[in-house]
């Protein structure tokens, strides 16, 4: 059973864990990529997002398996040749950008929920990410996959409570609000943005031994990523269109639900997702450095891993001063096109060709 879980579900769960904080943890991302196109348009946009993630992961997992490349540097060298350096630059920028979103959101969540200075939440975030980065791949795999099940349970609880309290409002939003054009392209862009992290989770695909396993694991990754997003999207519909203007929609939703239990539990789980995303991205960067040093006959010392984590987070905190709305609207918008060009298109063309040979 454990072997089956690692081969088929672990890659998708780790992918979802790394993506969630920058993908839909605060709810602001769902506003920018989906809800701006109307309730129905937003739901429709989630279909191409899911499909492009699944299709690209199927090719990516299989290419990693046959080439035995499980850090993003060696994987991108197989896929892009010397062009892998473009991804290196874009990935470093995306780490800082997503960590900036996480830092900004953490401060807001801690202050609004617990009434304490946001810097306390930021320091806690920094400490836990640095600790997990120090512990290495095995611990990170276990923590990320386990927390995903916790997250699924909490998102389902928020959805059920919202539907019980605001069911008519949710139905009215779907039936009366217009669908704006552009939902297909926006959904595709959203999926491409999440796929920026595909090379970063290849450490979780080492258990895949056959092509069939890679295909199934890749196909499941899209739904695993998007199911919590769909549940959260429905909870947002009860407060449409007012929620479009909220910097951190999840805080507004919790206020409207007026549930003491969810008000305490959900922010804790949300901060846990921020830790997941930061840990996964930084661990991938550490593995890339370790792989490069190994090629030179050297070893990355253990103490360097948390130091690298601290340096990247401090850089992100400086960027977080721009504010979460601008970071997501401008930063995410620009990065989608970059990763369509260096991940999605190459994998669905060169990657398919290399896998089929």
3-class SS of residue 298:
coil
Largest CA distance in the chain: 64
Confidence category of residue 24, pLDDT binned at 50, 70, 90: confident
Say which residue the tokens 């789980």 belong to: 269
Sign of CA dihedral 87, 92, 95, 96: negative
CATH of the domain at 335: 1.20.1740.10
Residues 313-322: b if buried by 16+ CB within 10 A, e if exposed: beebbebbee
Q: For residue 261, tell me if it sits in a domain.
A: yes
Say which residue the tokens 């196109």 belong to: 37
Q: For residue 355, tell me if it sits in a domain.
A: no
Q: For residue 120, tell me if it sits in a domain.
A: yes
Tens-place pLDDT, residues 293-317: 777 777 777 777 777 777 777 776 6
Confidence category of residue 187, pLDDT binned at 50, 70, 90: very high
Q: For residue 314, tell me if it sits in a domain.
A: yes
Nearest to 15 by CA among 172, 194, 137: 194
Q: How high is the pLDDT of residue 64?
A: 94
Q: Is 134 exposed, middle or buried (0-12, 13-18, 19+ CB in 10 A)?
A: middle
Domain enclosing residue 178, as ranges: 2-348
Q: Helices then strands (H, E): number in the chain?
A: 17, 0
Q: How high is the pLDDT of residue 266?
A: 79
Task: Provide the number of structural domains found in the chain.
Answer: 1
Other CB atoms within 10 A of residue 176 CB: 9
Residue 10, pLDDT > 80, answer yes
59-88 average pLDDT score: 87
Tens-place pLDDT, residues 68-80: 988 778 898 899 8
Q: For residue 318, tell me if it sits in a domain.
A: yes
Q: For residue 42, tell me if it sits in a domain.
A: yes
Element (H, E) at 89: helix 84-114
Q: For residue 17, tell me if it sits in a domain.
A: yes
Which residue did the predictor score with more confidence, 61 or 180?
61
Instruction: Please state, in angstroms and rounded to a whole number, the distance separating the CA atoms of residues 196 and 288.
Output: 15
Q: For residue 354, tell me if it sits in a domain.
A: no
3-class SS of residue 207:
coil
Tens-place pLDDT, residues 252-295: 888 888 887 887 887 778 777 777 777 777 777 777 777 777 77
As a whole number of Å, the CA-based R_g of the chain is 19
């Amino acid at each position: 059973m454990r072997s089956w879980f690692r081969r088929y579900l672990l890659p998708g769960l780790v992918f979802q864990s790394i993506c969630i904080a920058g993908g839909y943890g605060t709810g602001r991302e769902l506003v920018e990529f989906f809800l701006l196109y109307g309730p129905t348009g937003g739901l429709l946009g989630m279909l191409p997002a899911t499909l492009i993630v699944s299709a690209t992961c199927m090719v990516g997992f299989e290419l990693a398996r046959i080439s035995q490349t499980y850090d993003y540097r060696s994987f991108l060298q197989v896929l892009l040749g010397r062009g892998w350096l473009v991804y290196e630059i874009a990935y470093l920028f995306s780490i800082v950008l997503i960590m900036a979103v996480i830092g900004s959101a953490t401060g807001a969540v801690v202050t609004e929920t617990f009434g304490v200075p946001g810097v306390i939440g930021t320091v806690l975030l920094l400490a836990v990410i640095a600790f997990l980065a120090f512990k290495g791949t095995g611990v990170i795999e276990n923590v990320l996959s386990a927390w995903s099940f916790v997250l699924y349970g909490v998102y389902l609880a928020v959805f059920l409570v919202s539907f019980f309290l605001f069911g008519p409002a949710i139905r009215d939003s779907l039936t009366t609000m217009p669908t704006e054009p552009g939902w297909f392209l926006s959904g595709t862009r959203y999926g491409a943005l999440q796929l920026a992290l595909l090379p970063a989770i290849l450490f979780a695909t080492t258990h895949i031994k056959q092509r069939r396993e890679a295909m199934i694991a890749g196909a499941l990754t899209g739904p695993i990523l998007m199911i919590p997003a769909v549940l959260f999207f429905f909870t947002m519909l009860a407060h449409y269109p007012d929620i479009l203007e909220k910097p951190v929609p999840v805080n507004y939703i919790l206020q409207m639900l007026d549930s003491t239990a969810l008000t305490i539990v959900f922010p804790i789980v949300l901060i846990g997702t921020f830790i997941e995303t930061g840990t996964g991205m930084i661990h991938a960067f550490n593995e890339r450095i370790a792989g490069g040093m190994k090629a030179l006959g050297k070893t990355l010392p253990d103490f360097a891993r948390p130091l690298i984590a601290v340096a990247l987070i401090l850089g992100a905190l400086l960027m977080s001063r721009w504010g979460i709305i601008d970071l997501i609207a401008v930063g995410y918008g620009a990065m989608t096109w970059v990763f369509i060009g260096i991940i999605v298109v190459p994998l669905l063309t060169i990657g398919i060709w290399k896998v089929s040979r």
